[in-house]
Every structure is written in structure tokens, then in C-alpha cells.
Amino acid sequence: MTDPALPGLHVRPARGWVNDPNGLCRAGGRWHVFFQHNPHAPRHGRIAWGHASSADLAHWREEPIAMEPVPGGLDAAGCWSGCLVMDGTTPTICYTAVPDAPENAVGRTATGSADLSAWTRAGRPSAERIGPPGACTRDPFAVRIGGRRCIVQGHGGPGRTARVLVHDATDLSDWRLLGTLLDGRDDPVARELAPADVWECPNLVRIDGRWVLIVSLLRTNGGRALLAGVRWLRGELADGPTPRFVPHEGGTVDAGWPFYAPQVLVDGERALMWGWARELDRDEAWLAGHGWAGTLTTPRELHLRDGRLVSAPAAEYLAHRAEHLDGSWSVAEAPAFAVTTSGPGVLVCAGAEGPGRVELPGRAQVLVDGSLVEVFSDGDCRTTRVYPTAASTWRVLGGGTVSARALR
């Protein structure tokens, strides 16, 4: 039997480290997801861009690694997060190139073949290092503002104010800094709802005809970086020489501790989001024994409803629900499954490594794949982790009317 904790229907190579989703796109009849990846060890290190593709958002084919750090190059210490855009007919990755330390990162591009299998990196940065010593700028995300292509990046540092910077990226080889899109100190809504030293992985997107900014909160405490969740802000975008985002309301994207650094793909009128699900309380011995860490979440459709950003699993993923499961079921019977409940209950994994109970609110939809558990209820979502063993069984206690089906 394969590793019972390893998700099988999500973007997650069999070995190595995975974090942020990057470069989301649809091409050649397939969905493509790039991601932060260390193929050599189950921990963060010299990060590459992994690549997977799918025809149905559930069964993923591992593709060749798109980019790895080049010793002595602009990205010698890592090819960190970014996005993929079409520059005319040329697929182009815009990413964070780390030469040594994160505070020295620069913006860089790489152009790709039509099938997204081969990439050629630019010889010079598209955006030089910005800010005083200790400040960092990273995670480029492309968006059209007032008819021109722009790139937004997160900016900040230990004890500094989080900001989102905006660049004119009409020429992808030369991102021209326009100024600050949003300042986390000066804006009262952002200051209250999204306090951070750095806003990582900013996504500025149109959802249901309105502008939404999604930021991941990095805070520092005694020199230690703390990943403090993900927030959304809805507001107005004022175009001009320096575009400005003015938030009116916001909230939490996902209430689970493991969830971080999502990226959104706007495909026509549809907004699909993937996030990174971190491991929960796994020690070095566990990581070494299993050989992997991190996975991407189920793709989620985003909408604005009654002043809230709500999410639900992509319909294509749910289409893979198969036979019904009654009572309790083993990991061998159903390594991945979906549960719906009509009332409060508890999802229990007997024989789990560590905590094996997940509290369920009334009327929930729960998706489980290996150790990845995602609970959806009334538009809210909570990502958590439960680590089954080969001998584990699952069941729901309470929950009112319960329906469980395998996912194949």
C-alpha cells in the first residue's frame, strides 16, 4: 500500500517539499499548476518550480520541473513564487529570483515553449531590488488595470509596514515601479483586518465584477517568521499614474492553520483558487521517514455573497464521487472520500498518528484525501490535517443525515 497520509488526488509529487501554488493557467485542454518545490528533501531549501497538469482537476500528471536554481545565477538560492502570463502568444513566467538572501530578491522572467515544457530565463532582472536594507519585495502577480498590464508585489520586512507595490509591466522585461497600491499602516481597513510585516503572495482579481485583494500575512517575532493566515479585502480600484486600492471590507479566506499562500486563476467569469496546506506537528523523523511535506488544496470556486468571500470545491472535482460508504471504512477502501452532514458532528480517524478528530458544523461538506481534510460550510472553509495509518478507519459521529462517498 502507498503512504496512507499522502494525498493522491491533489498536486503533490511523491517525494520532496511543496509550498505555494504558482503560474496557474489552462492550455492545450489541460489545467496547469506550477508550485514551489524542493525535489531533494522534505523541507524548504533551494526551491524550484514544480509542474503538474490535469484534464479534470482531480487526477494530476507530474510534469518535468520547469526551473531549478542555477549556481552563481540570479536565482542561485531559489526560484520563488510568481505567476504565468501570455505575452502575445508566448507563455511567460514572472517570478522572484533569490540570489542569496530573500531581502536581495529581484523580479525575473522566463519564456516558455507552447506546451509549457521548456523555459528560458532572461539574462537580467525585470525589477531590481527595492527598499532599504532588510526590506524584501516578492511574489509578482499580473493584472490588467485600466487597460494596461501591471504587476503587483508584496513588500515589507521585520518590523516594517506591509505594502503592495504596483509596476507597469507593459514590457515584461522591464517592470516600471509606479508606487504603492495599498499601505498596511495608512489604510485603516487594511491595518485592522490584515496586520503584517509583509504581505506575501498578493492576488488582485475581479470576482463577480468587484475588485478583491488577497494577501498572506507574514509577521515576525524575535527574528522568527510567523505565517499568520490569509485575508481578503474587497474595495475600489482607482486608476491613475499610480493605481490605488481602497478596501471597504474583508475577512479570513480559510480558518485553518495549515492554509497559506493561495493563488487565484481567473478563467473567464470563473475564479479558481488553490492554496498550500502545510503539515501539522510533523517532526524531522516523520518527514525523513515519509520523504515529503506539503500539498496543494482542492481547487475552489470563489464568489462574493452578502458581503463575504465564499468558496466551494470545484464541480469537476466533486464529479469523481463514486460508491457510497456505510458506517465506517478503512483507508484501503477509500483513501479519498467526500462526506456531507446535515448537523453538527465529528469526523473520526481511528488509529491516526496524532489527533484524529475534526469537529464539523451543521450542514458541512468534508473532503478527505490522505491526510488533507477540508471542511466547507455555508461558504466558509477550514483546512486541517489528520494523519491516517495503514490500519486506520474513518467514521462520522453524529452529523444528522450523513452521506459518504469514495472519490476515485
Q: What is the pLDDT of residues 17-44, one digit of tens each?
A: 999 999 999 999 999 999 999 999 999 9
Model pLDDT, residue 225: 85
Model pLDDT, residue 133: 85
Domains and CATH numbers, the chain: 16-316 (2.115.10.20), 320-407 (no CATH)
**Encoded amino acid at 129, one letter:** R
Give 71's contacts (C-beta < 8 A, 6+ positions apart): none
Buried b (16+ CB within 10 A) or exposed e, 374-392: bbbeeebbbbbbbbbeeeb
Model pLDDT, residue 1: 57
Q: Which is the catalytic residue, given 20, 139, 187, 369?
A: 20
Q: What is the pLDDT of residues 334-385, one digit of tens each?
A: 999 999 999 999 999 999 999 999 999 989 999 999 999 999 999 999 999 9
Q: Which of 311, 388, 401 is nearest to 360 (CA)?
A: 401
Model pLDDT, residue 163: 97
Cβ atoms of 116 and 32 closer than 8 Å: yes
Cβ atoms of 252 and 231 closer than 8 Å: yes
* CA gap 138, 152 in Å, rounded: 9
Mean pLDDT in consecutive groups of 10 residues from the start of the chain, 408 residues = 91 96 96 98 96 96 97 97 97 97 95 97 94 91 96 93 96 97 96 96 97 96 88 95 96 98 96 97 95 98 97 96 94 96 97 95 96 97 98 96 95
Phi first, then psi: give them for residue 308, nearest 5 degrees: -130, 150
* Residue 20 annotated in active site: yes
